[in-house]
């Protein structure tokens, strides 16, 4: 059963499941390493392993998002690509603004597959907008509401600004995206805030 207590203070983690019913307060980022929640992958890499206890917390947060946002507001889960062609980021206005934070993905060897430069997605929603570009969308029955929780997002954060679980090179998050008329998207936004 889902714990219906809503967090009221910054740093409070809600734990789910019958074996995890009491909320734990985290006083500092260092506390995440003590109970084996996350571990540094390679020193100063900006990448962290999410260890078993951290994975249970992450899955608990996902359950909260599913119950309070996805199910109650009507979002459907999708799996979006985590790398995209350079042109997708040009169209999104990201190139030229975020260049320092982008990580390029180029083929290691040439095959009959990808030959062009791709970018590891720093936002997740880029693929959503690229997919719907130049399509006529029927929103008479309501807006398109999707969420993606399928994998990491990538940013080339400065080493001195990396803050585990907040700023990393590779991090997990949920992305909620919606598309509809002005009234539909405003209503969807308000429903998300209420839940």
Cα–Cα distance, 195 to 191 (Å, whole number)? 6
Q: What is the DSSP letter of 187?
A: H
Whole-number pLDDT of residue 165: 65
Which of residues 14 and 180 earns the better pLDDT score?
180
Q: List the end-to-end C-alpha distance of the chain, in Å, as a whole number.
A: 18
- CB count within 10 Å of CB 7 equals 12
Cα–Cα distance, 165 to 161 (Å, whole number)? 12
Give the pTM: 0.72
Give tens-digit pLDDT for 106-156: 888 878 888 888 998 888 788 898 899 999 999 998 999 999 988 888 887
Contacts of 195 (CB under 8 A, 6+ apart): 68, 69, 72, 73
Q: Which helix (H) or strand (E) holds 21?
A: none
Cα–Cα distance, 14 to 11 (Å, whole number)? 10
CA distances from 28 to 11, 36, 38, 169 (A): 8, 14, 13, 20
């Amino acid at each position: 059963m889902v714990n219906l207590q809503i967090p009221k203070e910054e740093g409070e983690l809600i734990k789910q499941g019958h074996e995890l019913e009491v909320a734990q307060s985290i006083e500092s980022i260092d506390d995440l390493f003590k109970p084996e929640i996350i571990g540094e992958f390679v020193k100063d890499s900006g990448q962290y392993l999410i260890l078993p206890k951290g994975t249970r917390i992450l899955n608990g947060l996902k359950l909260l998002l599913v119950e309070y946002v996805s199910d109650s507001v009507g979002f459907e889960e999708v799996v979006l690509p985590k790398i995209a062609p350079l042109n997708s980021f040009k169209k999104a206005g990201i190139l030229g603004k975020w260049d320092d934070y982008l990580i390029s993905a180029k083929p290691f060897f040439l095959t009959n597959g990808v030959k062009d430069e791709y970018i590891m997605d720093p936002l997740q929603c880029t693929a959503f907008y690229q997919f719907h570009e130049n399509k006529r969308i029927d929103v008479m029955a309501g807006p398109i509401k999707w969420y993606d929780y399928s994998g990491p997002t990538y940013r080339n954060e400065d080493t001195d600004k990396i803050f585990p679980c907040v700023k990393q090179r590779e991090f997990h998050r949920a992305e909620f995206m919606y598309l509809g008329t002005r009234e539909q998207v405003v209503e969807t936004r308000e429903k998300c805030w209420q839940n």
